[in-house]
Amino acid sequence: MTNSNDDSAPRPQAVVAGDLDGAGALSGRAGASEFTIGAADGRAAGANPYELLSASLAACTAMTIRFQARRRKFPLSHVEVAVSYHHDADGGRDSFERSIKLEGNLTDDERAELMRAANMCPVGRTLGLSADIRTNDNVSVGRAANYDDDLSELPIPYIDAD
């Protein structure tokens, strides 16, 4: 994951790279953060793509709530957002289950406004085009989608180069 020496060149927001040898994990970079993605030698070495997608929604939601609280000068002292991605059992729209915990000396109206702000997060608006986003107080509803299972079920044909 190298970058050209030209600092004025546009940079991608995220880069993922890895060798095709074996089942090694991939290396990822987003902004200044570097991390491992996937499994190495059959063991989980880093987050899978569904976990990264869930983390993106959780981060954007928390940042949007925090931004609104600061802007409106609400006494929010801590925000925690937990997200899980789920497949619809009947083949319908997939969903994200999102749990939001707000701490601080908030009035009911302030709390309601911050919960409404959560639905305005840009990542959530983008993901909501193809999946439902349900906000509740129990993020562990149902079985989370399994990326490895989905990957193994892809109808990718084997093509022999000879």
- The model's pLDDT over 86-141, given as tens digits with 9 standing for 90+, comes to 887 777 888 899 999 999 999 999 999 999 999 988 998 888 888 888 876 544 44
Phi, psi dihedral angles at 20 (to 5 degrees): -85, -10
- The model's pLDDT over 27-64, given as tens digits with 9 standing for 90+, comes to 999 889 999 888 766 677 788 888 999 999 999 999 99
What is the model's pTM? 0.77
Reference 147, options 29, 38, 7, 71; nearest CA is: 38
Average pLDDT for the chain: 81
